[in-house]
C-alpha cells in the first residue's frame, strides 16, 4: 500500500484563506472535503498541531450505528450512516466498512424496557431496529454467555443490522486525499495559539508558523475545543475526559458482529486483521492524558470475560486513551458562536467517529451558508440557555 503521506501534499501555510479549519481529524477532514465537493469552496486550510488524524480519529473503537432514541440524534446519525454506505465508492478507497450488525445487550428489566422503547422509536424514525430474545442473541452471536447463572444475565438485545465498523486510518487517508485533490491545504505540525478578533469578528488565526488571515474559522478539535474557544473569549459548556480502549493479540475470526453492554461499559468487535477491539466508559475525572490505566483495564476485562468466557486466555496487546469533550446533555454543539464567523463543532463525546461523514456534511453546509443546516438547528450553542436540551445521557446507549 502507498504510504499515506504520499496521498496528499505537505504545503506551507499561505498568508490567507477563505476558511481555516482547526483540527485535522476525521471531522476536520470531512468538513474540508464537503466544503470543496458540495459548495465549491477550495481556498481552505486544515491546521493540525500534530499529524493528520493522530488524535481521537486514531484512538476510537470504530463502531458505526444510528440507533439513537431522540429524533434529533437519530436524524443526524442516520444521515451519517447513509453516507457511510456509499463512502468507499465516493472516495475511491477501501474503507473496510463492514455492516456486520450491532448488538446492545440488556441485563435487567429496566434495560429490556428501554431497549424495546428505543427499537420502537427507531422504527418510527425510519431507522432499522430489532428486539432479540436471549435465544436469538445466542443464535446471532454464539460466543456470548446467555446462561441464567451469568453475573450479567442476558435478557435480550437490540440489533441494528446496518451498523458495523470501518477502518479509521483508511477513512482519514481517503478524506485527506480527496480534499487535497480539490486544492485544500492540509497543514500539519502547526498549533493554533490564538485568534485575532476585530469588532467581534474573527479575522485571523495565530499559529506556531505565523499569522494566517481567515474569512471564516471553524473549530473541530474534539477534547481541546474548549481550550481553543477560551482563546477567543468563549467559555463552552464542555468537559474533557479520557476514554480508554485496548486491543488484543491477533486471533482467528471469532466475532462477526459488534457487541455492546452499556450496563458494564464493555464494547467489543473484531477488526479485519484479527485483533479484538474493546472500549470502556469515560474516565470519571477530567484530564488530557492519552494513556491507559490498569484499574480501568481490570474492570473492563472482568466484565468482558463474564460476557465472553471464550476470551479468558487472550492477551492484551496495547492500551490507550483519547480525549472526548462531553456536553451537559451528551449531544454535540454545531453552529455559530458569539464571535462572528467563528464556528464550532464539538461535544460529540464518545460518538464522534460514527458521525464523521454526516457531521462533515452538515458542518460544511453551516459554514458555507452562514446559517445552520436543518440537521444542525437543534444542536445550537444557545440550547443551554433556552433549555431545549437533547438529553442523550439519560436516553440512549453510551455512544461508541
Read off the C-alpha cell for 258: 459488534
Q: How confident is the model at residue 297 (pLDDT cuts 50, 70, 90)?
A: confident
Task: Round to the nearest angstrom and report the end-to-end CA distance of the chain.
Answer: 29
- Would you say residue 140 has pLDDT above 80? yes
pLDDT in tens, 359-383: 999 999 999 999 999 999 999 999 9
How many angstroms separate the CA atoms of 82 and 79, rounded? 5
Q: Please state the rounded mean pLDDT for residues 217-227.
A: 97
pLDDT in tens, 8-45: 999 999 999 999 999 999 999 999 999 999 999 999 99
- Would you say residue 263 has pLDDT above 70? yes
Alpha helices in 125-270 (DSSP H): 134-140, 168-181, 225-231
Q: How confident is the model at residue 316 (pLDDT cuts 50, 70, 90)?
A: very high
Q: Please state the rounded mean pLDDT for residues 304-323.
A: 94
Return the pLDDT at 396.
46
Q: How confident is the model at residue 289 (pLDDT cuts 50, 70, 90)?
A: confident
Strands 16-22 and 44-47: parallel
- Would you say residue 399 has pLDDT above 50? no
Return the pLDDT at 400.
43
Alpha helices in 165-270 (DSSP H): 168-181, 225-231
Return the pLDDT at 324.
95
Return the pLDDT at 5.
66
DSSP structural state of residue 183: T
**DSSP three-state, residue 144:** coil
Return the pLDDT at 187.
98
Please give the domain boundaries of the chain with CATH numbers for all domains: 4-60+168-237+329-395 (3.50.50.60), 99-163+239-326 (3.30.9.10)
- Would you say residue 395 has pLDDT above 80? no
pLDDT in tens, 267-278: 999 999 999 999
Edge-to-edge, what's the strand order for the sheet holding 316-326?
A: 130-132, 156-160, 102-106, 258-261, 266-270, 275-282, 239-250, 316-326
Return the pLDDT at 331.
97
Q: What is the pTM of this model?
A: 0.96
How many angstroms separate the CA atoms of 203 and 212, rounded? 9
pLDDT in tens, 35-75: 999 999 999 999 999 999 999 999 999 999 999 999 999 99
pLDDT in tens, 154-184: 999 999 999 999 999 999 999 999 999 999 9
Amino acid at each position: 500500500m502507498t504510504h499515506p503521506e504520499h496521498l496528499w501534499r505537505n504545503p506551507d501555510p499561505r498568508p490567507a484563506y477563505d476558511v481555516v479549519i482547526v483540527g485535522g481529524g476525521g471531522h476536520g477532514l470531512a468538513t474540508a472535503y464537503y466544503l470543496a465537493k458540495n459548495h465549491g469552496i477550495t481556498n481552505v486550510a486544515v491546521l493540525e498541531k500534530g499529524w493528520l488524524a493522530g488524535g481521537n480519529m486514531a484512538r476510537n473503537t470504530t463502531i458505526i450505528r444510528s440507533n439513537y432514541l431522540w429524533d434529533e440524534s437519530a436524524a443526524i446519525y442516520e444521515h451519517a450512516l447513509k453516507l457511510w454506505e456509499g463512502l468507499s465508492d465516493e472516495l475511491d478507497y477501501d474503507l473496510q466498512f463492514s455492516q456486520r450488525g450491532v448488538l446492545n445487550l440488556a441485563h435487567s428489566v429496566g434495560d429490556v424496557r428501554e431497549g424495546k422503547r428505543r427499537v420502537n422509536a427507531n422504527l418510527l424514525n425510519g431507522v432499522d431496529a430489532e428486539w432479540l430474545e436471549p435465544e436469538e442473541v445466542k443464535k446471532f452471536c454464539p460466543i456470548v454467555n446467555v446462561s441464567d447463572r451469568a453475573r450479567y444475565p442476558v435478557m435480550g438485545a437490540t440489533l441494528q443490522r446496518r451498523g458495523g465498523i470501518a477502518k479509521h486510518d483508511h477513512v482519514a487517508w481517503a478524506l485527506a486525499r480527496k480534499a487535497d485533490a480539490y486544492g485544500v491545504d492540509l497543514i500539519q505540525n502547526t498549533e493554533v495559539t490564538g485568534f485575532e478578533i476585530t469588532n467581534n469578528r474573527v479575522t485571523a488565526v495565530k499559529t506556531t508558523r505565523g499569522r494566517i488571515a481567515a474569512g471564516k474559522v471553524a473549530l473541530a478539535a474534539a477534547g481541546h475545543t474548549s481550550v481553543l474557544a477560551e482563546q477567543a473569549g468563549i467559555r463552552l459548556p464542555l468537559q474533557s475526559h479520557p476514554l480508554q480502549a485496548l486491543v488484543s493479540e491477533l486471533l482467528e475470526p471469532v466475532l462477526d458482529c459488534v457487541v455492546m453492554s452499556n450496563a458494564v461499559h464493555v464494547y467489543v468487535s473484531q477488526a479485519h486483521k484479527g485483533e479484538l477491539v474493546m472500549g470502556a466508559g469515560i474516565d470519571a475525572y477530567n484530564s488530557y492524558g492519552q494513556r491507559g490505566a490498569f484499574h480501568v483495564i481490570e474492570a473492563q476485562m472482568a466484565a468482558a470475560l463474564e460476557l465472553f468466557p471464550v476470551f479468558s486466555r487472550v492477551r492484551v496487546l496495547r492500551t490507550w486513551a483519547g480525549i472526548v469533550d462531553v456536553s451537559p446533555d451528551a449531544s454535540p454543539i454545531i453552529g455559530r458562536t458569539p464571535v462572528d464567523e467563528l464556528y464550532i463543532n464539538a461535544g460529540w463525546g464518545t460518538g464522534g467517529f460514527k458521525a464523521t461523514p454526516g457531521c462533515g456534511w452538515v458542518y460544511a453546509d453551516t459554514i458555507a451558508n452562514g446559517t445552520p443546516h436543518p440537521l444542525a438547528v437543534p444542536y445550537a450553542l444557545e440550547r443551554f440557555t433556552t433549555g431545549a436540551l437533547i438529553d442523550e445521557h439519560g436516553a440512549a446507549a453510551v455512544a461508541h
